C-alpha cells in the first residue's frame, strides 16, 4: 500500500509514511472485507459511512504538517483508522463521532492498539470540543457546506485545519492556516466524503 499508492503519488513526509506502514488497516474493516483492506479505495464501515482511501488519509495527514508536540482534533472518528494514524504523529488526539456503534468499535481498536493518547466522545463535532481547545491542528473527515465557525474559533494560532467543503456529491479539500491573527484558506484536491451532519453541517 505504501509503495504503490503513497510513494508513487505525492506522499513524502517520512513520519506519515511510517505511520501508514505501521497501523494495521485491516483491524478497522469488517471481516467480510479483509481482503480489500489495503486496496486503493474507500470501504464501507457500517451505518452508511466509509473509511477513506489510504491515499486520502495520508494526504490529509501530511497536509497538517505535524511535528510530534501537537494537540489534534478530529471530527468523524468512523472506524478510528485516521485517529490511530494521527496518534503516532502528535502528542494528543481528540476525536468526535455522532454514531454510537462506530465510536464503540473504534474505542475497542484504540485499546487493542494501545493508543492511549486518543480521547473520544459521542457528540456533534461541528461544535468542536471546546473543553480541550485550542488545537494545533483540526481534521474533519466528513464533507460540509462550509467550515464550521466553532472549529475556526478552537484552532490555535499558529494552526492548520483541513476539511472537505462542497455539496453532498463532491467537495474540495480546504486548508485553513491561522497565523499571526490572519486566516488563509487554500483549496487542495477534489474529493468525495460522506456528509458532515450537524448544527454547522448538513441537517438530517
Q: Which residues make up the interface to ligand SAH (CB under 6 A)?
A: 45, 49-52, 75-76, 78-79, 81-82, 96-99, 102, 124-126, 141-142, 194, 196-198, 201
- For the bound state, the minimum distance from the C-beta of residue 90 to ligand SAH, rounded and expressed in Å, comes to 15
Q: In whole angstroms, give the CA distance from residue 146 to residue 62.
A: 22
How many CB atoms within 10 Å of residue 59? 21
The distance of closest approach from Cβ of residue 140 to ligand SAH in the complex, given in angstroms and rounded to an integer, is 8
The catalytic residue positions are: 52
Residue nearest to ligand SAH (CB): 78
Q: Nearer to ligand SAH by C-beta: 42 or 180? A: 42
Nearer to ligand SAH, 46 or 65 (CB): 46
Residue 23 or 176: the one with the smaller Cβ distance to ligand SAH is: 23
**Shortest distance in whole angstroms from residue 123 CB to ligand SAH:** 7
3-state helix, strand and coil shares in percent for the chain, rounded to the nearest 5? 30, 30, 35
Amino acid at each position: 500500500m505504501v509503495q504503490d499508492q503513497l510513494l508513487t503519488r505525492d506522499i513524502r513526509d517520512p513520519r506519515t509514511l511510517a505511520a501508514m506502514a505501521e497501523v494495521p488497516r485491516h483491524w478497522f474493516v469488517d471481516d467480510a472485507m479483509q481482503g480489500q483492506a489495503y486496496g486503493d479505495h474507500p470501504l464501507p464501515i457500517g451505518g452508511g459511512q466509509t473509511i477513506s482511501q489510504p491515499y486520502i488519509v495520508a494526504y490529509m495527514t501530511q497536509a497538517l504538517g505535524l511535528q510530534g508536540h501537537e494537540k489534534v482534533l478530529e471530527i468523524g472518528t468512523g472506524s478510528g483508522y485516521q485517529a490511530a494514524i494521527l496518534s503516532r504523529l502528535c502528542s494528543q488526539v481528540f476525536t468526535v463521532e455522532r454514531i454510537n456503534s462506530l465510536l464503540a468499535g473504534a474505542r475497542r481498536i484504540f485499546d487493542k492498539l494501545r493508543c492511549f493518547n486518543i480521547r473520544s466522545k459521542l457528540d456533534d463535532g461541528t461544535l468542536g470540543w471546546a473543553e480541550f481547545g485550542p488545537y494545533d491542528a483540526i481534521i474533519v473527515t466528513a464533507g460540509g457546506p462550509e467550515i464550521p465557525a466553532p472549529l475556526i474559533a478552537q484552532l490555535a494560532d499558529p494552526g492548520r485545519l483541513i476539511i472537505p467543503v462542497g455539496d453532498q456529491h463532491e467537495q474540495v479539500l480546504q486548508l485553513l492556516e491561522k497565523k499571526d491573527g490572519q486566516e488563509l484558506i487554500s483549496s487542495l484536491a477534489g474529493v468525495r466524503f460522506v456528509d458532515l451532519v450537524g448544527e454547522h453541517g448538513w441537517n438530517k
